[in-house]
Structure 1
Amino acid sequence: MAYVPRLKGKYKEEVVPALKEKFSYKSSMEVPKLMKICLNQGVGNAVADKKLIDNAIEEMTIISGQKAVASKSKKDIANFKLRKNIPIGVRVTLRDNNMFEFLDRLISVALPRIRDFKGINDKGFDGRGNYTLGVTEQIIFPEINIDKINKILGMDITFVTSAKTDAEAFELLKEFGLPFKK
C-alpha cells in the first residue's frame, strides 16, 4: 500500500465528517479542502548582493522539501535601484503529499518554536477562503542550521482552500490543528 501522510488521512477520516456535520453539507464533495500551500520570502537586499538569493533558495528548498524558484521584479523602480527581471524573492508552491508533510511539520514542530507563542492570529483571511500567515524568522524550522544562516528573513505562508467563505476555511484549518488564538 502506498504511503499516505498523517494529515491527509486525518482529513478523510475526521475533518470531512466534522465539517459535513457542522455546515450540513449534503455531499462530502462539498466539504472544502486544502488545495495548496504557497511559501514566499522577499529578500530586500538582493539587489545589492546576488548571493542572498542563492542562500534564500537553498534555505527555502530545505524548509519545503521542494526546489524553490526566484521571483523576479516586474518593472524598474529608480528609488529602490531596482531593474526589471532582477531576482528579489523566493517562492515555492506545495501540493498533495508535500503540502500535507509541510503542514504537519509546521503545526507540530515549527510553530511551537516561536518565542512567546500564544497562537496564530485569525485576521489573515482574505474574504475568499484563503489564509496567509506571516512568520518573522525562518529559524523556527528545525531543518535550518542557525550557525550557517547569514541573515534572518521572514516569510509568508498562504493556505489556499476551496472554501467559499472565511468561516468555512477557518473551521477547516482549525480541524487540521492550526493553533488559532482563542
Structure 2
Amino acid sequence: MEQRLKKVYLDSIIPKLKNKFVYDNINQLPSIEKVVVNRGLGKFNQSIKSFDYFLNELSIITGQKGVITYSRKAIANFKLRKKSPIGISVTLRGNKMYAFLDRLINLALPRVRDFRGLNKKSFDGFGNFNLGLNEQLMFPEIDYDKINSVCGMDISIIIDSKNNEESLFLLGELGIPFSSNDIYNK
C-alpha cells in the first residue's frame, strides 16, 4: 500500500519543484532518502532492563526494531567502558519512513505544548534536517501509564538535494510546520 505522504510527493510536490527550481534531469529532484531516529540513554546505560524497555518503546514509535549502538572507547569521567551499550538507533526507508513522517507531522508535533514551529536553521548545509524531541509522550502509540521515565530522541531527515533552500521547500510542502516568525533569531 502506498503511503499518503509519498502520494502527495509524487502527485503535487514534484511539479512544484520543477516550476520553482531548474533541473536538467528528473533524477536531480530532491527526495527524502531516509529518516534516522537516535536515542542516547545517558544515565540509563547501566541497566539492561532499561535498554529492553527503550528498545521496545522506540520500535513501537517507528514501526521497526532498533539497533543498539556501542561506545568506541572508554571514558572514565562518564563511567563508560569500551564496547558498552550507549544508545539505540533506527533507520527508516521506503513506506515505513513515509508512515513515520506522516505520524510525526500530523499527530505528534501538534501535541507539543506551546509549539510554535520548527527552526528553519536546523539544516546542516547539505540539505539534511535535524530536530530533537524532549519526550516521547507526544506520540499517540505511547501509553502514559506505562512510561518508566521521560527520554527524548533525535530525528535526522536525510534529503538528496543540492542545498538547504530546496530541502526547506520540499519539507514545507510536505507539511512540516516551520516557525513563521523569527523567535529563534533573538
Measured against the shorter chain, the TM-score band is over 0.9
Give 1:41's aligned amino acid: R
Aligned to 1:75: 73
Mapped to 1, the partners of 2:162 and 2:149 lie a distance apart of: 38
Deviation (angstroms), 1:48: 2.6
Mapped to 1, the partners of 2:61 and 2:124 lie a distance apart of: 25
Q: 1:85-106, CA deviations, whole angstroms, 9 ceiling, x for partnerless residues?
A: 1111111000000000000000
Deviation (angstroms), 1:153: 0.6
Give 2:115's aligned amino acid: F
CA contact (8 A) 1:70 1:88 kept: yes
Aligned to 2:159: 161
Residues 1:41 and 2:43 aligned together: no
Mapped to 2, the partners of 1:74 and 1:130 lie a distance apart of: 25
Mapped to 2, the partners of 1:122 and 1:147 lie a distance apart of: 34
Unpaired segments of 5 or more residues in structure 1?
none
CA contact (8 A) 2:122 2:129 kept: yes
Aligned to 1:136: 134
Aligned to 2:51: 53
Deviation (angstroms), 1:70: 0.9
CA contact (8 A) 2:36 2:90 kept: yes
Aligned to 2:114: 116
CA contact (8 A) 1:40 1:91 kept: yes
Aligned to 1:64: 62
Deviation (angstroms), 1:108: 0.5
Aligned counterpart for 1:173 among listed residues 156, 171, 174: 171
Deviation (angstroms), 1:46: 2.7
Give 1:129's aligned amino acid: G
Mapped to 2, the partners of 1:50 and 1:78 lie a distance apart of: 20
CA contact (8 A) 2:32 2:160 kept: yes
Mapped to 1, the partners of 2:143 and 2:78 lie a distance apart of: 31
Deviation (angstroms), 1:47: 3.1
Aligned counterpart for 2:16 among listed residues 15, 18, 28: 18
Q: TM-score scaled by structure 1?
A: 0.96
CA contact (8 A) 1:46 1:87 kept: no
Identity level (%): 49
Q: TM-score scaled by structure 2?
A: 0.94
Mapped to 1, the partners of 2:5 and 2:92 lie a distance apart of: 14
Q: 1:31-89, CA deviations, whole angstroms, 9 ceiling, x for partnerless residues?
A: 10000000000101133322221111011000000011111111100011100111111
